[in-house]
Amino acid sequence: MSVGIISHFACQAHDMGEHHPESPDRLPAIQNQLISSGLDFVTRQYDAIPIDRKLLGLVHDPAYIAYIFDNAPSEGYAQIGEDAVMNPHTLSAALHAAGAAVQAVDLVMKEELKVAFCATRPPGHHAERKSAMGFCFFNNIAIAAAYARQHYQLSRVAIVDFDVHHGNGTEDIFTDEPNVLFCSSFQHPFYPFSGTEPTSANIINTPLDASASSNEFRQVITDRWLPALNAFKPEMIFISAGFDAHAEDDMSQVRLYDNDYRWVSEQLRAVAKQHSKGRIVSVLEGGYDLSSLGRSVAAHINGLIGY
């Protein structure tokens, strides 16, 4: 099976200040672990292509897109949202991150790849239709899913999100959109304190207690996600792949381990094989402890490959 990793040096130049957890070091930590796991031999590497500005409009409000472009600083930092800060390289990084997700759809739909993983930043799943949120500017996974629907006329796509934070931006964009199934697991109560009120039938939210570990995580995937995915029969599966629920990651209290990321990836691979011609596009979200981030991405890719 051909698997691709899409990344770009531009995504490393974005930073939100010294000692910020969403740091440029996350990407080399992933690349180093892919090399030491031998995964660089079985994956194809691609340079991300920046997104065409008009494709951002698939999920974002035109005034919001203009706001981001107009406020990108030429020097210093610009505060865009409560937790979102731009430096002079952020706009380029964000355009490459969103572009990678679109490119991943093209590579998979044209059957050059079965599976594509975007090792990119800034992340995207908190970005709503009209606002930056968390450490996110453009909702990369939502743009990719909307692009697959529009450009390739896919009638059903699924987005699953195992980041420890609720994918509020993705939910905001696809509420009442029956052709997009969205499943999100997250610690609750926890930032961004959303996802527990039912919104629409296509949204499957599975909150986890702070004390949750492997068993609770695997239970909600088995009991809630997999039946919903199998009933929905998506033509492509998108993964908001955040690794901040790892036991070694100080960002949260939930305790998952490398093998849990491998396991959930194997489950998603099985669903994709059955319903989606094996098509999977996975995009990096959170994951702030550099060692467990690198190992978890390797476990995720191994699970997707069935290696």
Give the footprint of Zn ion on this chain (CB under 5 A): 163, 165, 242, 244, 286
| Nearest by Cα to 230 from 239, 222, 238 | 222
Closest to Zn ion by CB, 123 or 234 = 123
- CB nearest Zn ion: which residue? 286
φ, ψ for residue 264 (rounded to 5)? -65, -35
- Residues present in the chain in total: 307
By beta-carbon proximity to Zn ion, the closer residue of 37 and 120 is: 120
Q: Which helix (H) or strand (E) holds 158?
A: strand 157-161
- Min dist CB 179 to Zn ion, Å, is 26
Query: Shortest distance, CB of residue 285 to Zn ion, whole angstroms?
Result: 6
Three-class secondary structure of residue 160 per DSSP? strand
CA distance 72 to 57: 18
Catalytic residue among 96, 126, 166, 300: 126
| Beta-carbon count within 10 A of 200 CB | 12
Residue with Cβ nearer Zn ion (244 or 258): 244
126 belongs to the catalytic site: yes
Nearer CB in complex with Zn ion: 60/165: 165
Closest separation in Å from C-beta 123 to Zn ion: 7
Pairing mode, strands 115-118 and 280-284: parallel
Coil, helix or strand at residue 159: strand
Write down the least CB distance from residue 55 to Zn ion, Å: 24
CB 33 within 8 A of CB 298: yes
Q: Considering the complex, what minimum distance in angstroms separates the CB of residue 83 from Zn ion?
A: 11
Q: Which is nearer to Zn ion, 276 or 282 (CB)?
A: 282
Residues with a known catalytic role: 126
